[in-house]
Structure 1
Amino acid sequence: MRQQLFTSLNTKMKHRYCYGGSLRNSAKGRAARPLSTKDPIHLVLKINKTTVKGGLRNPYAFRLMNIVLKRYALKFFVKVEQFSIQNDHVHLLIRGTRRSKLQSFFRVVPGQFAQNLTDTLKTKGKERIWKYRPFTRVVKGFKAYQIVRDYIQLNECEANGRPYSKTRLRGLTQKQRQELWEFRMRPTT
């Protein structure tokens, strides 16, 4: 009986490997950012839709995001294993060598993207480009790693024209997983 009382009090366990995003609006998201140099990290950056016209998939913003990611991944020794740029958010699966380098990467990439984008739009920083602070989650275990990889790949396929399905995250069979990784955008005539 006593043990059941303690388990209901432990609400931080669900979010102990997560930080940022909408979690910052609650008390459970205000601790130190959990980072790991041994495990991969799932990073999500979300923009305000009203600030960036055409979203991140418009040619200029898409190219700019790719350039910024590559430049600062090299500078901070961060390995970008997988990424997907959507209209209103970016998914990254990364690994880093040092905590300080990862923190710098999380700070500099959104800042440089926003700075370069607002310089070209001449908005003088009146509106915030990013909706939330960067969301990160340390991916523990192979099954969680495989789920995140499939999720990022599914997002990329949907951005390239795959139809959206409500049951897309219910668990993939081996055949569905193989189709997911073989999906390419069909050329339009």
Structure 2
Amino acid sequence: MRQSRQQTFTTIYNNLSYGGTLRRSSKGRGARPLSSKDPIHLVFKVNKFVVKRGLRSPRNFALMTALMKKYSAKFYVGVEQFSIQRDHVHILLRGSRRSRIQSFLRVVAGQFAQTLTDTFTKRREGASVWLYRPFTRVVKGYKGYQTVRNYIQLNEKEALGRPYSKTRLRGLSEEQLRELWT
């Protein structure tokens, strides 16, 4: 039986995302889709019970920023944009090879968790620092790229004090988008 056009598009879109809560469904249990040509939207979600002060505390913010800078240079991964929230991090990145992107994901998450919980000097047992596995989505097309960039910028502005809106990016005028980037 032949699939309709809409079902094919949905299947393609689902194959571009991985991690997060998708791991609970059967759709999210394949290989992580990564692209060396297209940008990747990456989200790390932290466990609030383990990281009490959140990622916006000065120590954790500086730690996460330093780790991203250090390991993006080491693995030749370009971090185009990032936003560190209280309980999650958004990163828009590009990499030249799949192995380098995977190494970046693994090392940044591991180094942050080890430094935060001080597992370099002592053994630690208990809840994990990360709530889910990192969520990644391959961003296809210019419109999708602009949407992700605006979304990450909006998250950063909200972390700095902009009031939260339920509609968020839906229906923002050109003037509001310009204000978002100033």
Greater alpha carbon shift after TM alignment, 75-84 vs 8-17: 8-17
**1:150 aligned partner, one-letter code:** N
Q: For 2:110 and 2:43, how far apart are their aligned partners in 1?
A: 14
Letter in 2 for 1:43: L
1:185 aligns with none
Q: Distance in 2 between matches of 1:73 and 1:5?
A: 41
* Cα distance change on mapping 1:9 and 1:102 into 2, 3 Å: closer
Provide the residue aligned with 1:165 in structure 2: 165
Q: CA deviation at 1:174?
A: 1.1
Whether 2:107 is the aligned partner of 1:133: answer: no
Dislocated runs of 4+, deviation >2 Å: 2-14
Sort the Cα spacing of 1:80 and 1:125 in 2 relative to 1 into closer, same or farther, 3 A: farther
Aligned to 2:16: 17
Secondary structure (helix, strand or coil) at the match of 1:129 reads coil
Give the secondary structure class of the aligned counterpart of 1:93: strand
User: 2:180 maps to which residue?
Assistant: 180
CA distance in 2 between counterparts of 1:63 and 1:176 reads 30
Instruction: Report the 3-state secondary structure (helix = DSSP H, G, I; strand = E; otherwise coil) of the residue aligned with 2:53.
Output: coil
Q: 1:95 matched to which residue of 2? A: 94
| Runs of at least 5 residues in structure 2 that lack an aligned partner in the other structure | none
Rounded Cα–Cα distance in structure 2 between residues aligned with 1:177 and 1:9: 33
Which has the larger displacement, 122-131 or 52-61? 122-131
Please, which runs of 5 or more residues in structure 1 have no aligned partner? 183-189
How many matched pairs?
Answer: 180
Structure 1 position 125, deviation (Å): 3.8
* 1:12–1:28 contact (8 Å) kept in structure 2: no
TM-score, normalised with respect to structure 1? 0.89
SS for the counterpart of 2:13 is helix
Residue 11 of structure 1, CA deviation = 6.1
Distance 1:94 1:4, change over 3 A: closer
Give the residue type in structure 1 aligned to 2:147. I
Q: Deviations over 1:46-74 (max 9, x none)?
A: 01111101110011111110111111101
TM-score normalized with structure 2 length: 0.92
Q: Does 1:153 align with 2:153?
A: yes
Could you say which residue in structure 2 is the equivalent of 1:187? none
Measure, in 2, the Cα distance between the counterparts of 1:105 and 1:59.
23
- Deviation (angstroms), 1:176: 1.0
Which residue is 2:65 aligned to?
Answer: 66
Distance 1:144 1:33, change over 3 A: same
The aligned residue for residue 76 of structure 2 is 77
Amino acid of the residue matched to residue 105 of structure 1?
F
Distance 2:136 2:17 in 1: 6
Q: Deviations over 1:8-61 (max 9, x none)?
A: 598633311001111011100011111111110000000111110111001111
